[in-house]
Amino acid sequence: MIKMTYNGRPFDAKRFASDIEAKALELGVQALIEKARGAAASIIDPETGRHADVFVDRLPGNKVALRTTGSPAFARLVEDRLGVERGSVTMTMAAGGTEHPKIYLAHASEDKAQVRPIAEYLMANGVEVWFDEWEIDPGDSLRQKMEEGLGAMTHFVVVLTKTSIVKPWVAKEIDVGLVRQVGGRSRFVPLVVDLDPAELSPFLQAMLFLKLDPSNEAELKALVDRLHGVSRKPALGEAPQYVKPAPAGLTGWSQAAIAVGRHIVETSVSAMAVDPMITLAGLAEALTIAEDDLRIALLDLRGGGYLRELNARGHYAPTPALFVDFDDAFMPFSPKDDAGVLANRIMNGETRSVQTKQLAEELGWEPRRINSAICYLERAGAIETWTALASAPWRAVKLLRTDDTLRFARNHA
């Protein structure tokens, strides 16, 4: 008598089938997560020129949520790359800041003559100021009003003078401002007025403070710029000639990724599966791009499904998607237009299949061009192909039409 067990228990067909189904679902969801993370993380945010953070979260019911800290334009690019509906990708933080900075102006009451011009200048230049003599009326709760001001602020600004640095109340306000900065809820901005910085506490000396003369408009303007987030960097000049905007259809890729993609399509002889095969060392020799940038470019292209890693020695080969998108940008032909011509030729033939070489001769196309069109049709799911060991230089020996080919041909007639 043979006894069958599963996971140390007597075999149960229903439990076995249920476990297999659950495992298959788990693998499917995990594959979806990896695809979404790789594709989204490879995109450059067009508003910042940087990679945005991308979070792929597992949801109940074998669903996933894709969220990003990038701009709305970045989210739309992610949706386009993944082929999902508009609004599917959500932003976890707003792309822009507060319309007007809101500051809590901490100071000693004895310094109001010096502080009032600062508050008035800030208000006149788009900075909303909580200044006690403007906010607190007779009969108001001092604690409640101050808590309201502290709760709404984006910046805690403290005026440090010989008088204020010894005031216990100002010290308590500073404590609140520092706690809010540590919590990421506001920025802490110390202003040093008529005071030797050496007189500050060691903690405040370690912070970046502004020395300010309330009667100096240039220094007041510098404070306004800082509160509004105006960069202190010099004006951005013209980019070198070799740095060009992303060609149409390649928005969202870094300059390094575009350069690598261009190198691949321009050096490919016939757009075959391993034509060309590239390495990091080969790219570094061919392109004047820093090695770290090339590493990220390869990661981006692979994550986006445009490259496949052949082995552990760092050899990469292009996928059909790379030829489709980058040929359209850098080659003297359009894979999309050529795919329409090819589909219509196939549908007009008398047989279901046609020899690739024959079609190329009729159209006067080199293998490089017709193979790119085949990549487009394969990527669109509009054709079936038949290959053989001796297919070169053709991606497929024969092209077989289907109902999908018919629909594609009609849409591109």
Q: Which of 239, 221, 20 is nearest to 121 (CA)?
A: 221
pLDDT of amino acid 295: 94
Q: Is the pLDDT of residue 95 over 50?
A: no
The CATH code of the domain that includes 174 is 3.40.50.10140
**Up-side HSE of residue 296: CA atoms within 13 Å toward CB?**
14
Per residue in 262-299, pLDDT tens?
Answer: 999 999 999 998 889 999 999 999 998 999 999 999 99
Domain shared by 117 and 206, yes or no: yes
CB 50 within 8 A of CB 35: no
Write out the residue range of the structural domain in which residue 208 sits: 102-227
- Domain assignment present for 245: no
Domain shared by 114 and 86, yes or no: no
Domain shared by 82 and 136, yes or no: no
Per residue in 142-196, pLDDT tens?
Answer: 888 888 888 778 889 999 999 998 899 898 888 888 887 777 778 888 999 998 8
pLDDT of amino acid 32: 67
Per residue in 354-377, pLDDT tens?
Answer: 999 999 999 999 999 999 999 999
Which pTM was predicted?
0.51
pLDDT band with cut points at 50, 70 and 90 for residue 198:
confident
CB 228 within 8 A of CB 127: yes
Facing residues of 91 across strands? 68
- Domain assignment present for 77: yes
Instruction: Name, in order, each residue with C-beta under 8 angstroms of 393's C-beta and a sequence gap of 6 or more.
Output: 269, 270, 272, 367, 371
CB 387 within 8 A of CB 374: no
d(CA 273, CA 131): 69
The CATH code of the domain that includes 301 is 1.10.10.10
Q: Which of 202, 172, 177, 179 is nearest to 190 (CA)?
A: 177
Domain shared by 223 and 106, yes or no: yes
Number of domains in the chain: 4
Q: What is the mean pLDDT of the chain?
A: 82
Q: Please tell me which residue, 260 or 9, carries the higher pLDDT value.
A: 260
Per residue in 225-258, pLDDT tens?
Answer: 888 877 666 666 665 544 566 777 788 888 899 9
Domain shared by 106 and 223, yes or no: yes
Domain boundary among 61, 91, 121: 91
pLDDT band with cut points at 50, 70 and 90 for residue 45:
confident
pLDDT of amino acid 151: 78
Token pair for residue 85?
């509906």
